[in-house]
Every structure is written in structure tokens, then in C-alpha cells.
Amino acid sequence: MNDVRTIGILGGGQLGRMLSVAASRLGLRCHIYEPGAAPAGDVAWRVTTAPYEDEAALRAFAESVDVITYEFENVPTSALDLLESIRPIRPDRRALAVSQDRLTEKTFLNDIGLATAPFADVPAETDLDAAVSRIGRPSILKTRRLGYDGKGQVRIGDGPAEWTGAPSVLEGFVDFSAEISVIIARGTDGQVAAFDPGLNVHRDGILRTTTVPCGLPGKVTTDAVLIAARIANALDYVGVMGVELFVTPQGLIVNEIAPRVHNTGHWTQAGCAVDQFEQHIRAVAGLPLGDGKRYADVVMENLIGDDVARVPDLLKTPNTQVHLYGKGDPRPGRKMGHLNRITG
């Protein structure tokens, strides 16, 4: 096929696990680099357990693979510098730099002509009052880096504004009727393939369900795919990307981008011949992309915390695909698995 035989993955969580399974179907091997517990290690060819500050471990990891990708964004710059000097990283460092910092991300999106929520840079607590005066209330204060699944966020209402404890971005509230996401892939040759947009429902800051088809007009879904393609092309992107958008009366507003396979794309495992995980592996390995066409209607539901107690019943449920991540004990807010229910 090509010269890529072994793919290095930074991060050993559930996304790395599902990427490793997808790679194995194409006869490829995955080497996981993970400082902590690695559910992906159950299915990967090899696992390196070492901190990102261990230069010898990073070097040995890079030299054992043909290309490097990642399942989460927050890898230290020093580690990336060393790895990139040995093997290509896909998606590349620019995509990481944009997505690692909410201020950089929103500025980039505005610069390529895409709408975002109104925002203000809040580098320190002393800048917060001025930012609130500019953006207004209600608004939401988010750390510039490291926040996910509702972490690192403070809602600002009528009372005193609380501080996140780190450089942040203040975002104005958006009056939206729905949140959708597009999972898009771009290959090394510039080929682009998108999956159908999904309708997302969150609870307590964590994704609960994604439903496909999303039930919105064709113009909205077409515009969503075009926006995702504009982002991928502007970044000269290679791999799969998740793009979250708000549906508003004024049009689509980009909420955030994730330079990796994405929770809102898990439905593709039951709805498409080539799912998001195989699509990402194909892209980073320099293989032709699948077309992304959907052949079934699907509802994806995350299994969070004690939801795993439902698994025995779910396994008896018709048209239901259960994915468990091999994690330890359930706890509130912890994603333990997901299900894909085929609805049509």
C-alpha cells in the first residue's frame, strides 16, 4: 500500500483504543505513548508508559514508528519538538497550536471569515471586570488551555464574577436552537470527505447523545460541511477533525474545533462503511479516504459513570452496538463507553 506500517499515538484513552482497532483492520500496528493508565494498551501492538518529559522514551517511541498522531491535544510543546525532529506528526503542529488555545482558535476562525461567539481575552483576574463590561452578562469564562467536558469553565451571571485561576477567554452567550457537529477528514493529497452532521445534546457540560440525521434543513447541513472544509483546508490539515457549531437565526456559529477523532463521531461505527477511526488512520497513513456515506440512522449515547450498570440489558437490545472502554471503576462524569442504536 505505502511505507507506513506502524502509527504512533500520543495518548492511550478510548480514542487511542478505537484508533488501534481500526488500524489493525488495515494491517497496521499502533504504538501508544501514555504517561498514565492506557485502556488502548489492551488492543495496541505496543505501549510506552513514560512521562512526556522523558526524552529517551520519546526518542525510542518515535524511532519505532513511521508517523505520529494523537488522541488529545494537550501534549507539551517540548515533547512535540523532539518527536517532530524524528517523525512527521499528523495533524501537524499548526492544527495543534490553534486548537490548544481558545483565544488562538477563535482568532483563527474569525480571520478565515467564520463567525464565533463574541469573546475577549482575559489574561489575568484584574482584566475580568473590563471584559465583562465589554461582553456583557450572562457570559462564560473559559480557561484558554486544558478545558474539556465542561472543566475549566465559570458561568458569569448577575453576581460577582468568579475567576478560573488561569489565563482565560470570556465568551458571550449565544442564542442557539441546536448544536451540531461535522466530522471531516482531509488526506495528504488534499482530498476531503465529510460525514453527515449530527445533532448533539449535552448535560452538565458532557455530551450525552448525538443523533444522525440531525433533522435540520439541507441548507444548514450543507453550510456546516462547507465551514468544516474551509477550516481543514485553511490549516492544510491531515486527519479527522471535529467541528462543533451552533445553529442560530443569523446562521451557523463555530463553537470549537478538535484536531482528532471526536466523541460526536462515534455514531459512524454503526452508520458508515468507513467510520471516523478508520478514516483518520487512512489519512495519517497516506491512504485513500473512504467516502463517508451513511447507510443507517443512528443515535449514539455515552455511557457515563454508573450508566455501565445498564450494559447487561443493552446487550440484549436489538439493533444496539455496545462499546466499552476497558476503564476501571465508574465515577460521576467518567466516560465508560458508548452505544450506537440503529434507528432506521
Q: How confident is the model at residue 150 (pLDDT cuts 50, 70, 90)?
A: low
pLDDT at res. 160: 82
Q: Grade residue 142 by pLDDT with cuts at 50, 70 and 90.
A: very high
Contact assessment for residue 103 and residue 121, using Cβ atoms and an 8 Å cutoff: yes
All 3 cell numbers of residue 96? 495543534
Distance CA 231, CA 183 (A): 12
Q: Which domains does the chain have, with CATH numbers?
A: 6-89 (3.40.50.20), 118-172 (3.30.1490.20), 178-342 (3.30.470.20)
Question: Is the confidence at residue 124, as pLDDT, over 60?
Answer: yes
Task: Tell me what pLDDT residue 73 has.
Answer: 86
Instruction: Give 133's pLDDT tier (boundaries 50, 70, 90).
Output: very high
Instruction: Say what the pLDDT of residue 88 is.
Output: 97
The answer to whether the beta carbons of residues 114 and 98 sit under 8 Å apart is no
Distance in angstroms (rounded) separating the CA atoms of residues 116 and 283: 28
Amino acid at 333: G
Using alpha carbons only, how large is the chain's radius of gyration in Å? 20
Q: For residue 79, what is its C-alpha cell? A: 515533547
Note whether 118 and 171 are within 8 A (CB).
Answer: yes
At 91-107, the pLDDT tens digits run 999 999 999 999 999 99
Under 8 Å between Cβ of 275 and 297: no
Mean pLDDT of 322-340: 96
Please tell me the distance from the alpha carbon of residue 163 to that of residue 6, in angstroms, as a whole number: 44
By percentage, how much of the chain surpasses pLDDT 90? Answer: 90
Mean pLDDT score across all residues of the chain: 95
Alpha carbon distances (Å) from 121 to 105, 124, 131, 142 = 12, 9, 7, 10
Section 150-174 average pLDDT: 86
pLDDT of 301 strictly over 70: yes
Report pLDDT for 151.
65
- Measured between alpha carbons, how far is 113 from 96 in angstroms, rounded to an integer? 20
Does the pLDDT value for residue 149 go beyond 60? no
Average pLDDT on 36-43 reads 95
Q: How many other C-beta atoms are found inside a 10 Å radius of the C-beta of residue 176?
A: 17
Burial of 312 (0-12, 13-18, 19+ CB in 10 A): exposed
> SS3 string of the chain?
CCCCCEEEEECCCHHHHHHHHHHHHCCCEEEEECCCCCHHHHCCCEEECCCCCCHHHHHHHHHCCCEEEECCCCCCHHHHHHHHCCCCECCCHHHHHHHHCHHHHHHHHHHCCCCCCCEEEECCHHHHHHHHHHHCCCEEEEECCCCCCCCCEEEECCCCCCCCCCCEEEEECCCCCEEEEEEEEECCCCCEEECCCEEEEEECCEEEEEEECCCCCHHHHHHHHHHHHHHHHHCCCCEEEEEEEEEECCEEEEEEEECCCCHHHCCHHHHECCCHHHHHHHHHCCCCCCCCCECCCEEEEEEEHHHHHHHHHHCCCCCEEEEECCCCCCCCCCEEEEEEEECC
User: Whose grid coordinates read 488526506?
Assistant: 187
pLDDT, average across residues 180-197: 98
* Whether 31 contacts 45, CB under 8 Å: yes
Find the mean pLDDT for residues 78-97. Answer: 95
Looking at residue 159, its pLDDT comes to 80
d(CA 11, CA 80): 13
Instruction: For residue range 242-281, list pLDDT tens digits in order.
Output: 999 999 999 999 999 999 999 999 999 999 999 999 999 9
